[in-house]
Amino acid sequence: MADRPIWRGHLRLALVSCPVALYTAKHERNNLHFHFINPETGNRVRMITLDAETDKEVSRRELVRGYEFKKDNYLIMSNEDFESARIESSSTVGIDKFVPADSINPVYFDASYYMVPDGDAGKDVFVVLRDAIAQTGRMALSRVVMARRERAVAIEPLERGLVVHTLHEAKDLNDWNKLFDRIPDEKPDPDMVKLAVQLIDRQTGTYDPADMEDRYEARLREVIDAKLRGEGIAPEQEEEADRSNVIDLMAALKNSLDKIGSAPPKPAAKPAKAAAAKPKSKPRPEPSAKEPARKPAQRKRA
């Protein structure tokens, strides 16, 4: 758990404000890390920073930032220069407006941060705003300067605190219509859709974060352990997928239903506090006017 805030300032709604701090929601777990090795010596390769013109090595701690205003010409920027560019959102998360909690398409969400009161002052304001937002089932939209960039953010309750999601700008995302327009605009067989719905119903359960474990990394660790023991490990055999799609779809759907059976998967235990902190989600509307109307995938949060 991060013990130092990555941002400190104030959360403000109209004339009401309180000091808050942001902490990263994600931490680096004990992932597998690999290094580049010289196969002739077995030694690790060291990456060095070189001056592009003199080829002399430069210590990273000596480096400064520069803006290329014309080719190979740089304007050196000091910490004082960046400090003079501060704007209101550098120190204040001012809530601009509220939107339904399920109205933002999941593709716009980027990183998440925990927001908590910064010190004892303003805790009463914080909990009032948190509970008020929770009762409305909405998200607060704001902006905050992080890593020398102003980011649009969405804020929502998470148990006793708030969680801040940075949002991609529309121009950051590739136009999905260029891909989706390749999909034929035709209606499928209603009977097949009905069977597919039954298949979905039978496999519907409750989201459990434990289900998201990286199985590839677990398998890779087995390979590494076997190699350290001087043993080999056979790769799992995969059936080659038939890309021709020449199948009897109706029969495949019926066989799938028979294979799964009638019993739905057992739902995972739902934390009482998490369930009460947030109203039931609704389908999110699509953000593009060009995109055909359909129900998007829900963004479930534990």
Give CA separation, 123 vs 21, 129, 132, in Å: 12, 10, 14
SS3 of 240-261: CCCCCCCCCHHHHHHHHHHHHC
Look-up of token digits 């999909």: 183
> Can you tell me whether residue 296 is helix, strand or coil?
coil
Please report, rounded to a whole number, the percentage of residues in the chain having pLDDT higher than 70. Answer: 82
Which segments of the chain belong to CATH 2.40.290.10? 1-27+78-173+278-302
Say if residue 296's pLDDT is above 90.
no
Fold topology of 1-27+78-173+278-302: Ku70; Chain: A; Domain 2 (2.40.290)
What digits encode the pLDDT tens for the residues 215-251? 778 888 888 888 888 887 777 766 665 555 556 888 8
Say if residue 294's pLDDT is above 60.
no
Alpha helices in 87-238 (DSSP H): 123-136, 177-180, 190-202, 215-228
pTM: 0.69
> Can you tell me whether residue 1 is helix, strand or coil?
coil
Max mean pLDDT among 80-84, 108-112, 187-191 falls in 108-112
Residues β-bridged to residue 70: 73
pLDDT at position 264 is 56
Query: Is there a contact between 78 and 116 (Cβ–Cβ < 8 Å)?
Result: no
